[in-house]
Amino acid sequence: MTAIALALISVSLTSSLVLVARIGPPRSNSFASSQPVDDDEEKVRSPD
């Protein structure tokens, strides 16, 4: 039981670290190129 719990915790930690490593560095570039906030701002401006 303890081994299973430790395995699940380690897998979750590693997956979260991998996600942070993937999302972290290119965050400014990818999010700036396709940011939902920018689209929302444009959509808000057009009806006005």
Per-residue confidence (pLDDT) for residue 12, from 0 to 100: 92
pLDDT score of 10: 94
Phi, psi (rounded to 5 degrees) for 26: -80, 10
> Residue 5: how many CA atoms within 13 Å on its side-chain side?
2
Domain ranges of the chain: 2-45
Query: Could you tell me the pTM of the whole model?
Result: 0.41
Alpha helix (H) residue ranges in the chain: 2-23, 27-33, 36-45
Q: What is the pLDDT along the chain (48 residues), one digit of tens a residue?
A: 899 999 999 999 998 888 877 766 655 555 555 545 555 555 556 555
